[in-house]
Amino acid sequence: MRPFRSVRIHALARGLAVAAALALVAPALAADDEIDPVVARLQAQLAQLDRDAQLAGMGGVERLKAQQAVQALAIAKSKEYASAQFVAERRVRAAIAAAQADALARQSSELDRERDQIMVAAARRDADAARRDAERLRMQNLARQEEAERERVAAAETFALAEQAKADAEQARRLAASRAREAALAREEAELANSLVAEALAADAPLPPSRSVGPATVYTLAGSAFASGRAALTTEANASLRRLAMEIGGRNVEVVGYTDSQGAAAANQALSLRRAEAVAAILKESGASGSIRTDGRGAADPVADNGSAEGRAANRRVEITVR
Amino acid sequence: MTRNLPAGLAAAFLLAALLGGCASVPPPTAELDAADRAIRTADALEPRGPAQQALDEARQRLAAARDAASRKRHAEALVAAQQAEAAAAVAAAEARRATLEAEVDSKAARNAELRRRLLVQGD
């Protein structure tokens, strides 16, 4: 227990000091040699709270109430002391807790802002990724377009080459056709020239030797008109026959072929017929318009001796009977 | 006698003054209400541990204050009501601090998870 007078004197002194302490006078109180240790402890707790930079400005109302309670304790009378200490102890404890709670509240708000920043950063990163994807797709699309364009150009070039080849082929075909026509015209011209020559030759050619048998005239085409064993006529014989055809006109004709006696009879018969038909064909194409009968009699009806070469030549003949 | 009269009067005045002083303290209605509000506020914050003990203490002091007030001992009721409010202030501040500590821990863990999931994992 404190002496009553001492408490009163000290209470007065503390009262004055606390009045000044409203303007930060803890040191003034500390200067008091007989300061109440409880007050000193509580003051020290509040001073430590004030020094804590992280808690600066936190729990303002509770701090003020704590300071007031400590001041009240400092001037409390003896009978009020226990109650004032009870209040001051709790007010200081509440001030510390309130300041720390305020700091935690600020930290909580900062964490919310940090979360927002994370979300913004994530959204920005997603947007960047989306933009990169879009750019990549755009480049891929561009590459595909370029590839398609290259393929289109290549196809066009291929088509152009094919068209050119087709055009070349068509040109070649036309050239060939043109040359074929040219050749055909040349051939026709040659044939025409040949026929003109043949006609000219025919006009000047002598008629084959003839004899009269009753009303009919028999022309004899000598065996020399044919190559041996063949039915083709010499040029002179051909011209002579054309001349004869002009003489015959529309009268009926009988053409009979003969051979010499050499060789097989059947072969001779066939050769004589072929010679007769060759003669008939020339007569017909040269203007003989009447009926023309052909026959091949082989070695029959010889007109000379087959024992000699001259005789056999005479026997190889075609007789043209004009009626 | 004459010398004792002033002394007797003085004693009588002193007694009267003491009794009158007690009787002159008005009922601490505002303080009781303030203590009651402080307790309700602290109770809403669901204090645990030392904060819960502070709240219990506040309730005891408020009960004592009401008891004193009912017996017209207003000075005693006033002191108990002030004690009750101070104890309730401790309960409220410490309960709020505990809640915010948990909140900060939770948000820090959440941010770390978000950072890992959204910013680190995707890269």
Give tens-digit pLDDT for B45-67: 999 999 999 999 999 999 999 99
- Note which residues in 25-54 of chain B have CB less than 8 A from chain A: 54
Strands A253-258 and A292-296: parallel
Decide if B119 and A112 are in contact by the 8 Å CB cutoff.
Answer: no
CA distance B9 to chain A (A): 24
DSSP A226: B
The highest-confidence range among A25-29, A265-269, B15-19, B41-45, by mean pLDDT, is: B41-45
pLDDT over 90 percentage in chain A: 48
Task: Say how many Å lie between the first and final Cα of chain B, rounded.
Answer: 105
For residue A310, what is the enclosing H or E element?
helix A309-315
CA distance A120 to chain B (A): 10
**3-class DSSP state for residue B107?**
helix
Please name the residue that has the structure tokens 């003491």. Answer: B18
Name the residue with higher pLDDT: A24 or A236.
Answer: A236
d(CA A71, CA A45): 14
Q: Tell whether B75 lies on the interface with A, counting CB pairs under 8 A.
A: no
What are the structural domain ranges in chain B? 10-96
DSSP A322: E
What residues in A contact B119, CB-CB < 8 Å?
118, 121-122, 125
d(CA A74, CA A10): 9
Residue B37: HSE in the Cβ half-sphere, 13 Å Cα cutoff: 6
What does the pLDDT read at residue A260? 87
CB-based contact A49:A95 (threshold 8 Å): yes
d(CA B87, CA B82): 9
The pLDDT tens digits for A86-95 are 999 999 999 9
Considering chain B, what is the average pLDDT of its residues? Answer: 85
CA distances from B25 to A69, A191, B28, B69, B78 (A): 21, 164, 8, 11, 9
Decide if A108 and B104 are in contact by the 8 Å CB cutoff.
Answer: yes
What residues in A contact B103, CB-CB < 8 Å?
104, 108
Considering chain A, what is the average pLDDT of its residues? Answer: 85
Q: What class, spelled out in words, does domain A210-322 have in CATH?
A: alpha beta
The pLDDT tens digits for A188-231 are 888 888 777 767 777 777 888 888 888 899 999 887 787 767 77
pLDDT bracket for residue A33 (50, 70, 90):
low
CA distances from A287 to A231, A276, A293, A322, B28 (A): 21, 17, 15, 14, 168
Residue A70 predicted with pLDDT over 60:
yes
d(CA B22, CA B12): 15
Query: Could you give the ipTM of this predicted complex?
Result: 0.80
| Mean local confidence (pLDDT), A97-113 | 96
Please name the residue that has the structure tokens 């009262």. Answer: A15
What does the pLDDT read at residue A235? 80
CB-based contact B115:B64 (threshold 8 Å): no
CB-based contact A249:A233 (threshold 8 Å): no
Q: Tell whether B68 lies on the interface with A, counting CB pairs under 8 A.
A: no
Where does residue A183 rank: exposed (0-12), middle (13-18), buried (19+ CB within 10 A)?
A: exposed
The pLDDT tens digits for A138-186 are 999 999 999 999 999 999 999 999 999 999 999 999 999 999 998 999 8
What residues in B contact A79, CB-CB < 8 Å?
none
| Mean local confidence (pLDDT), A277-281 | 91
Name the residue with higher pLDDT: A1 or A177.
Answer: A177
Collect contacts of A191-198 with beta carbons under 8 A, ≥24 apart.
A198/A238, A198/A239, A198/A242
Interface A-B, measured as beta-carbon pairs within 8 A, has a size of 86
- Residue A262 makes CB contacts below 8 A (sequence gap 6+) with A268, A306, A312
What residues in A contact B94, CB-CB < 8 Å?
93-94, 97
Say which of A83, A90, A129 has its CB closest to residue B89. Answer: A90
Say which of B104, B118, B123 has its CB closest to residue A118. Answer: B118
Please name the residue ranges forming H helices in A205-248.
Answer: 235-248
Q: Give the closest residue to A291 by CA, choosing from A253, A265, A240, A256.
A: A253
pLDDT bracket for residue A25 (50, 70, 90):
very low
d(CA A113, CA A275): 128
Q: What share of chain B is helix, strand, coil (3-state, %, to 5)?
A: 85, 0, 15
What does the pLDDT read at residue B10? 55
d(CA A131, CA A239): 102
Ranges assigned E (strand) in chain A: 210-213, 216-222, 253-258, 292-296, 317-322
What does the pLDDT read at residue B6? 55
CA distance A118 to chain B (A): 6
Name the residue with higher pLDDT: A294 or B1.
Answer: A294
**Residue A15: what are its φ and ψ, rounded to 5°?**
-60, -45
What are the structural domain ranges in chain A? 4-108, 210-322
